[in-house]
Amino acid sequence: MAADREHEPDTAGTAPAPGRRGVSAVVREVCEQGRSVELLQRSMAFAALFFVTLVPLLIVIAAASPTRGGGISQWITDGLGLSGRGAEATRGLFASRGQVLSTTTGFGIAALTVFGISLMASVQTVYERIWQLDRSPWHAVWRQAIGLAGLTAYILVAAWSGSPWRRSAAQPALRLTATLLGGLLFFWWLQHLLLGSRVPWPRLLPGAVATMAALAGLRYFSRLVLAPLLVSNAVSYGTVGAVLVVQSWLIGVGYTIYGGALAGRAITGRRAGPRPGVPPP
C-alpha cells in the first residue's frame, strides 16, 4: 500500500489548469474592475462626448470628401444593422453635404478638433485606470490628437468600405477586412498609443480581440432590439426618438470598448502588469 501511495500523483497543491481559470475568473474580475472603473458612468460620458464632439467633425470630413461614402451616418446605420425606414430616419439626423460645406468655417473645424481631443482624453483615463497606471503628463496630449485622427480614419474607412464593388463577390470581403481586421489593429494600436508604451504589445492583443468580439455582439443585439425600436421611436417622437436610440447605441459602443480592455486585462492576469522601469511618457 505504501508503494502504491508513492506512485500516486500529488494533486493537493496543483494549480488549476489555465482553461479552468478562464470564464468564471475573467467574468468575476471584469465585474469587479468594472465597478471600480465606473463602467456605466464612463460609457455614458463616452456616448455624450462622441455625439457632441466627434459626430460634427465626421460630418464635416465626410461632406468635404470626394468619395461617395456616407461618413458617420453610414457607420451608425451599419452598426445598428438598419435598413429601409430605420436607415432613412438615421440619415435624416445629419445635415446634407451642401448645408455642411456652406456653413462650415476654418475656426469651426479647429474648435471641433480641439474639443474632440477630450474624447480621447476620457478613453486614455479609463485605459490607465484599467491597467492601474499613473496619469500621463499634460504634454502627452499629442497622443490623444493622434488617437483622434486614427479613430476618425477608422470610422470613415469602415463606412467607405460598403461603397466600392457594390453587389460583387469582392465587396463583402472588403467590408469584413476593413471593419473587423481594421478594427482589431486599430484598438490594439490605440491602447498602446494612449498608454504610452508602458504595457507590452502582446498583453494588449486580448483586449483588442475582446473589443471586436463585443462590437460584433452589439451589432447583432442592435439589429434585433434597437433597430425596431428606432423605427417605432422615429414614428412616435420624430427626430428626438431617433436621437435617443442612437445615443443608447453609443453607450453600448462605450461599454464594448472599455469592457473589451477590461476583459483583456483579466485574461492576461494580474502578473501581466505594466512594463517595469518604463515611466509615463
pLDDT digit string, tens, across residues 7-28: 444 444 444 444 445 678 778 8
pTM: 0.83
Concatenating the DSSP letter of every residue in the chain gives -HHHHHHS---TTPPPPHHHHHHHHHHHHHHHHHHHHTHHHHHHHHHHHIIIIIHHHHHHHHHH-SS---THHHHHHHHHT--THHHHHHHTTS--HHHHHHH--HHHHHHHHHHHHHHHHHHHHHHHHHTT-PPPPGGGHHHHHHHHHHHHHHHHHHHHTTSTTTTSTHHHHHHHIIIIIHHHHHHHHHHHHHTTT-S-HHHHHHHHHHHHHHHHHHHHHIIIIIHHHHHHHHHHHTHHHHHHHHHHHHHHHHHHHHHHHHHHHHHH-TTS-SPTT----
pLDDT tens figures, 129-167: 999 999 988 888 999 999 999 998 998 888 888 776 677
Q: Which residue has the cell 473589451?
A: 260
Average pLDDT of the segment spanning 23-50: 88
Return the percentage of the chain with pLDDT > 90, whole number: 38
Q: How many Cβ atoms are within 10 Å of 49's Cβ, its own excluded?
A: 21
Q: How many whole angstroms separate alpha carbon 185 and alpha carbon 205?
A: 9
pLDDT of residue 249: 93
Q: How many Cβ atoms are within 10 Å of 251's Cβ, its own excluded?
A: 17
- Helix 39-49 to helix 106-130 angle, to the nearest 10 degrees? 170
In 3D, which of 262, 273, 271 has the Cα closest to residue 26?
A: 262
Average pLDDT of the segment spanning 265-269: 87
Q: How many whole angstroms separate alpha carbon 193 and alpha carbon 198?
A: 9
